[in-house]
């Protein structure tokens, strides 16, 4: 699960529902908030869901993730170098990275990323003006790297089979979490396919 800009009370409900359905990881992604505001939110999430502490990642902000005690960080493609983050992170801390090519995926794996997220696979409202990379490109990335590749971008229950056949370990998403029904349907389909949903 990748959080959007829902107000805090609604966000807590979305996270709780996602965890109940078996979502593997929750990425706190709030690009417009200050470090103090983001840390406050992450601490609140960790307090509300203490059993999921190791499954909570913070987007981009390594400092906030470490200060709040989150389970890891998700680095955007233009973010801090994966190797530098891995060197400064404690044991067991998850480091994920967004990638847009096989080359970026290979480099992220070499520098210590636990997994990479590739996309958008399909066009999506969260990335206006960006055409989807497509299933063939996803397959290229999967075949290029030694770490798990998760697909993101416009993926719903109907498209999950195509993503799985391309070799993705699972899917990530933002928009799907705005609908409890859509998320439930997707999680059911992923369960049938044996995939996961970070």
Is the Cα torsion angle 61, 137, 193, 127 positive or negative in sign? positive
Q: What is the 8-class DSSP label of residue 24?
A: S
Q: At 154, is the secondary structure helix, strand, or coil?
A: coil
Strand (E) or helix (H) holding 59: strand 56-59
Q: Average the pLDDT over 113-119 and give the result.
A: 97
| String of DSSP letters for 26-50 | EEE--TTS-HHHHHHHHHHHHHH-G
d(CA 48, CA 142): 35
In this structure, what token pair is assigned to residue 110? 């070499």
Q: pLDDT category, 195, cuts 50, 70, 90?
A: low
Point out the least confidently predicted range of 26-35, 70-79, 96-105, 189-198.
189-198
d(CA 175, CA 182): 9
Point out the least confidently predicted range of 2-11, 67-76, 146-155.
2-11
Strand (E) or helix (H) holding 172: strand 170-172
Determine contact, residues 142/164, Cβ cutoff 8 Å.
no
Q: pLDDT category, 68, cuts 50, 70, 90?
A: very high
Average pLDDT of the chain is 89
pLDDT tens, 148-170?
A: 999 999 888 888 889 999 999 98
Q: What is the 8-class DSSP label of residue 90?
A: P
* Cβ-based burial of 170 (10 A; exposed 0-12, middle 13-18, buried ≥19): buried
The number of angstroms, rounded, from the C-alpha of 6 to the middle of its chain's C-alpha atoms is 17
User: Percentage of the chain surpassing pLDDT 70?
Assistant: 92
- Pairing mode, strands 26-28 and 72-75: unpaired
For the chain, helix (H) and strand (E) counts, in that order, are 8, 7
Question: pTM of the prediction?
Answer: 0.89
């Amino acid at each position: 699960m990748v959080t959007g800009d829902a107000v805090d009370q609604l966000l807590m409900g979305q996270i709780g529902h996602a965890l109940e359905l078996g979502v593997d990881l929750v990425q706190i992604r709030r690009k417009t908030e200050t470090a103090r505001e983001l840390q406050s939110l992450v601490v609140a999430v960790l307090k509300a869901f203490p059993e999921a502490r190791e499954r909570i990642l913070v987007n981009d902000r390594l400092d906030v993730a470490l200060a709040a005690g989150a389970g890891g960080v998700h680095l955007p493609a233009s973010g801090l170098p994966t190797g530098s983050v891995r060197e400064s992170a404690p044991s067991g801390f998850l480091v994920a990275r967004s990638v847009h090519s096989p080359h970026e995926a290979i480099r992220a794996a070499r520098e210590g990323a636990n997994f990479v997220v590739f996309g958008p696979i399909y066009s999506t409202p969260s990335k206006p003006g960006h055409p989807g990379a497509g299933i063939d490109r996803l397959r290229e990335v999967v075949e290029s790297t030694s770490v798990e590749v998760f697909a993101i971008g416009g993926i719903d229950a109907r498209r999950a089979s195509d993503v799985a056949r391309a070799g993705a370990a699972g899917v990530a998403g933002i928009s799907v979490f705005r609908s409890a029904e859509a998320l439930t349907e997707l999680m059911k389909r992923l369960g049938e396919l044996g995939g996961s949903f970070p």
